[in-house]
Structure 1
Amino acid sequence: MLNATMPFVAQSGWTMHSLMQGAKSLGYPSVAHGMFPGGESGLIDAHLAYQRDVFVQAVQEKKAELDLLPMNERVKVLTLLRLDMNKPYIHKWPEALAIMGRPSNVAMSLKHLGDIADDIWYYAGDRSPDMNWYTKRASLAAVYSAADVFMTQDLSPNYTETERFLTSRLDQAAWIGSSTRQLGTMLTFGAKSLVSVLANRGGRF
């Protein structure tokens, strides 16, 4: 059902119409959209969960290449890989961000953002059990959410400006050497950045 619906998302956005068209394309009655609890938000939730599986498969295919890179470069490559997965729907992605910014959906949005940041660090090779684990993921989540929004407005060929923006933000993050005393500051920064981004996008649609 998700695979059948996504082509309609590229045309009609993250809407009940897309869900109903996806159901009809499979020969199901239009009421079959009810298999996505929450309607549009349920569709986004299922899409992000599916993207997580696709991301893991893509990482496995790039493992040999990633193993040759230093940690910070691996983080960048994996973050770009995850952002690239939005390209087929990038012109409709602001609508998804708006839906994710609704108060009832923020918890779902934060969970997926946390999963994305954790996956990137994990597959980059970070297994640190110390307090920096939280700092790195909170700061990467803030960087990712900013790049995610930037990409929706990027008109450069092959989104080269998004890559430049991401590189600059990652350089500023200074992952290595963060002290545990910075943890509270970084977590607060990450949470406020995400909520601000989602709220701003939500107010435009």
Structure 2
Amino acid sequence: MRMTTTSAKLLKLALPLIETHGFTREALSLSVLSLPSPTPLAHPLPDASVTALFGPGDDARRTLVHAWLDDARCRMKEDSDSEAVLKVGDVLKARLRSNEPVLKYLPEAFALLATSSPLLPADPIPIIKHAAQVSNQACWIAHSDARESSWYTRRASISAIYLAAELHQLTSPRTASAFLDSLLENAEHAEKALDETTLFTSYVWKSWRGIVKSSGVLL
């Protein structure tokens, strides 16, 4: 849906509320209480207003998920910019760190992206697109002057690697960084990026489905 100035402003204010309220319509409703003076309101947005601004039912929640993903991706460089020379792994680790405050809500968030209707089968494309966007941003930050075709091939592999690391983070947050390093090192030696990506992405999607299904989101 097309964002108005008001909805875009409230979406931004809703992002810090995700840590305590999850990717919910409630977080969107409460965002209005954070409006700066002289426009703050004393009561949360009524449900009808949430629908008008962000979409009906779970569409509003998907709008919030997309806004959070966009924000996390935009912050990748500043969150990893502690060293003069950044590697792709450094940037991807920074992106994984941004998941930590909302980690318990991520399975449901990704399930929302993958299911547009309870009557339709889950669609992995939004999740794969998310990983590709993270990979693209990470490679651009670490190799902003690279233009050769090998960079694009490597970017495809990194998409699958990041998705696997994010999956690992859900089940073992403390070892996610080391797991990411091990995948990057193996990919560096394999030099079979495109072939590996197809197999890797298939495996990762099956694992994602297992996690979100066990949480009761996918039936």
TM-score, length basis structure 2: 0.72
The answer to whether the 8 A contact 1:97-1:201 is kept is no
SS in 2 for 1:14: coil
Q: How far, CA to CA, are the matches of 1:10 and 1:122 in structure 2?
A: 29
Please report how far the alpha carbon of residue 104 of structure 1 lies from its aligned counterpart in structure 2 after TM superposition.
6.7
Please report how far the alpha carbon of residue 24 of structure 1 lies from its aligned counterpart in structure 2 after TM superposition.
5.0
| Partner residue, 2:186 | 172
Q: 137, 144, 163: which one pairs with 2:155?
A: 137
| CA distance 1:193–1:135, shift in 2 (3 Å) | farther
The letter for the 1-side match of 2:196 is: M
Unaligned runs of 5+ in 1: none
| Partner residue, 1:186 | 196
Q: How far, CA to CA, are the matches of 1:113 and 1:66 in structure 2?
A: 25
Q: Which has the higher contact order (CA 8 A, sep 6+)?
A: 1
Please report how far the alpha carbon of residue 86 of structure 1 lies from its aligned counterpart in structure 2 after TM superposition.
1.1
Does residue 98 (structure 1) correspond to residue 114 (structure 2)? The answer is no
| Partner residue, 2:66 | 45
| Count of matched residue pairs | 188
Q: 205, 208, 214: which one pairs with 1:195?
A: 205
Which is further off, 87-96 or 74-83?
A: 87-96
Mapping of residues 30-41 of structure 1, within 5 Å: 30=46, 31-34=48-51, 35-37=53-55, 38-41=59-62
Please report how far the alpha carbon of residue 2 of structure 1 lies from its aligned counterpart in structure 2 after TM superposition.
2.5
Q: How far, CA to CA, are the matches of 1:56 and 1:194 in structure 2?
A: 26
Q: How far, CA to CA, are the matches of 2:178 and 2:71 in structure 1?
A: 27
Q: Following TM superposition, where does structure 1 have runs of at least 4 consecutive aligned residues deviating by more than 4 angstroms?
A: none
Q: How far, CA to CA, are the matches of 2:179 and 2:123 in structure 1?
A: 27
Q: How far, CA to CA, are the matches of 1:32 and 1:129 in structure 2?
A: 49
Larger Rg, first or second structure (1 or 2): 2
CA-based RMSD of the aligned residues comes to 2.7
